[in-house]
Each structure stands twice: as structure tokens, then as C-alpha cells.
């Protein structure tokens, strides 16, 4: 029971963080039809923003977390206007641009901060004891904040006018444009929101793991696995796939090793796509 609870907490922390990243990833694909392979670098930028604001400048943790996510979202808005606007709907062009941006951001961060691993102090120390089980407070904190962020994202997308407009553009941009929706504004907003979610995830994980310029590479691979498993463009599918992937990794890593966990992740993807080529909740085209 103790091992099961520990695994569940680690899996939930990973699942909610992966979900934040994957939701932004699939949101951009749903609106722009662009697979953004630079998405992991926005996660990395969120971690470095946390390092500067919280680690170096001494801002309060909550303020640094919000400011870091907003700064990454603003960077995404600017980059969408400057680089990605002309590639909306062009999957190959957008993918090449995103790969070039990923390499550029990694190089820029390496020049400014070097390639050395950096660390940030944890916002809370200690553990919560429930019976014979000890739960790290910083992990519980990440679970709580990511859960709140996912709930806020759900309300935004499902219950607000902005969210309805975003979903309308994702379903059929031409019809939305004929109804008076300025799709270019929704595209910029969506890309910024996607980057904000990735930046928030990176800022949250900065005190948990070490920070380095290549930390986004593995994250974007996992995000891609999640959106393919859940179904490209499906937001509920991304959340379900994140839970499946995280619990698989947590169990396999605990009883075996990370290599087995990675192998199982891809085996699950292959098995699901064999039965459902569009993913768990994807729509066949």
C-alpha cells in the first residue's frame, strides 16, 4: 500500500505536468495544423524564468511562478506574429520552423547560462505523513497547482466566449471567419496560451529537477506521444493519455527501470494506434 500511494503521487504529478504541456501542444495543432517541436523549449524557458526570478532575484515563489508563465506566453505571442503566422496550415513549413527555433533557443540559453545544470530551492520542505506513508510536500504542491491550472484551462475552453471561439476556429476556420471571427487573433492567442501552459509546467518543475538547456527535448517527445495516443487535436484525449503514460512510467520505473518504462510507452502507442489509428479520442479524417 505504501509503495502504491508513493507511485500514485509521482504518477499524478507527472501526469498533470505532461497534460499541461500536451494540451498546449495539441491546441496549436488543432488551430494552426502545425506540429510545434519547439514546444519543449518553452517548457525550458519557464524553468529558466523561475531560476532568474525566484532563484537569483529572490521574488516570492507564487509571484515568480505567475510572472514566469506570463513571460513565456508573451514570448510565444511575439514569435507567432514574427515566425509562425505565415505557416498556419502548412504542416511541413511550420515543423521546419519549429525545429529551427528549438535549436536557436537551446543555443541562446547555452550562451547566456552555459550548459551546466542549475537548481532552484524548493518552495516547501518536508513531507506529509499519513500512517506509514511519507509524501513530499513539494510534489503535493505541484499536483495541486497543476490541477488548478487544468481546471482553469477547462473553464476557459468550455465555458467562456473566448474558448468557444477557439474551438470554432479549430473545427472550421473558414466558417468561423464567415461568422465574423478574426481567426488571426485567435491563432495568436492560442499560440500564446500554449506557450504559457508549457512555461507554467517548466516553472513548476524547476525546483523538482535540475535545469539545463536541453531539458525540453524529452518533454516534447512525451508530449508528442501523448497527443498521438489521445488523438491529435483532442483535449480530453490528451489528459487521458497523460494519465496512462504517467502511471505506466511510474510503475515500470519503480519495479524495473526507465528503459523498460520508455519501451512500454511506445508499445502502448503502437497497440492503441493498431486498433484506433486516430488515437483514443481522435476523429478519423
d(CA 187, CA 271): 33
**DSSP-derived 3-state class of residue 118:** strand
Mean pLDDT for all residues in the chain: 84
Quote the crossing angle between the two packed helices 161-171 and 2-32, to the nearest 10°.
70
Residues 6+ apart with CB under 8 A from 28: 34, 36, 39, 190, 191, 194
Q: Which residue's entry shows cell 543555443?
A: 107
The pLDDT value recorded for residue 107 is 95
3-class secondary structure per residue, 6-28: HHHHHHHHHHHHHHHHHHHHHHH
Q: pTM of the full predicted structure?
A: 0.88
Q: Which residue's entry shows cell 507567432?
A: 80
Q: Which residues pair with 128 in a beta bridge?
A: 135
Q: Structural domain boundaries of the chain?
A: 2-213
Mean per-residue pLDDT, 238-265: 84
d(CA 70, CA 196): 6
Q: How confident is the model at residue 259 (pLDDT cuts 50, 70, 90)?
A: confident
The pLDDT value recorded for residue 283 is 64
User: Would you say 68 and 176 are in contact if contact means Cβ atoms under 8 Å apart?
Assistant: no
The pLDDT value recorded for residue 67 is 96
The pLDDT value recorded for residue 176 is 67
d(CA 260, CA 133): 26
* Strand boundaries in the chain, DSSP class E: 127-130, 133-136
Q: CA torsion angle for 85, 83, 91, 41 (degrees, to 10)?
A: -130
Q: Which helix (H) or strand (E) holds 235?
A: helix 235-255
- Which range among 108-112, 131-135, 173-177, 214-218 has the greatest average pLDDT? 108-112
Query: Which grid coordinates are listed for 207?
Result: 525546483
Q: Which residue has the higher pLDDT, 11 or 215?
A: 215
The pLDDT value recorded for residue 102 is 93
d(CA 215, CA 226): 18
User: How many other C-beta atoms lie within 10 A of the C-beta of residue 77?
Assistant: 17
DSSP state, 211? B
DSSP state, 104? H
Amino acid at each position: 500500500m505504501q509503495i502504491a500511494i508513493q507511485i500514485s503521487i509521482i504518477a499524478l504529478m507527472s501526469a498533470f505536468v505532461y497534460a499541461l504541456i500536451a494540451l498546449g501542444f495539441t491546441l496549436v495543432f488543432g488551430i494552426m495544423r502545425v506540429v510545434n517541436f519547439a514546444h519543449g523549449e518553452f517548457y525550458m524557458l519557464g524553468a529558466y524564468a523561475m531560476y532568474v526570478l525566484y532563484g537569483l532575484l529572490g521574488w516570492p515563489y507564487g509571484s515568480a511562478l505567475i510572472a514566469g508563465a506570463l513571460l513565456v506566453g508573451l514570448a510565444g505571442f511575439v514569435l507567432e506574429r514574427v515566425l509562425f503566422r505565415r505557416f498556419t496550415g502548412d504542416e511541413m513549413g511550420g515543423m521546419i520552423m519549429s525545429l529551427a527555433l528549438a535549436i536557436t533557443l537551446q543555443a541562446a540559453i547555452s550562451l547566456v547560462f552555459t550548459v551546466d545544470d542549475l537548481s532552484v530551492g524548493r518552495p516547501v520542505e518536508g513531507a506529509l505523513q499519513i500512517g506509514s506513508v511519507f509524501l513530499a510536500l513539494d510534489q503535493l504542491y505541484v499536483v495541486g497547482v497543476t490541477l488548478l491550472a487544468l481546471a482553469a484551462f477547462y473553464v476557459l475552453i468550455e465555458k467562456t466566449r473566448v474558448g468557444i471561439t477557439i474551438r470554432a476556429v479549430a473545427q472550421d476556420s473558414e466558417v468561423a471567419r464567415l461568422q465574423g471571427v478574426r481567426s488571426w487573433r485567435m491563432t495568436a492567442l492560442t499560440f500564446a496560451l500554449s506557450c504559457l501552459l508549457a512555461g507554467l509546467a517548466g516553472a513548476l518543475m524547476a525546483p523538482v529537477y535540475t535545469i539545463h538547456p536541453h531539458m525540453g527535448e524529452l518533454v516534447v517527445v512525451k508530449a508528442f506521444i501523448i497527443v498521438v495516443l489521445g488523438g491529435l487535436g483532442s483535449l480530453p484525449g490528451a489528459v487521458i493519455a497523460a494519465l496512462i503514460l504517467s502511471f505506466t512510467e511510474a510503475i515500470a520505473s519503480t519495479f524495473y527501470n526507465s528503459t523498460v518504462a520508455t519501451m512500454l510507452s511506445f508499445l502502448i502507442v503502437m497497440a492503441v494506434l493498431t486498433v484506433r489509428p486516430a488515437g483514443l479520442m481522435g476523429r478519423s479524417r
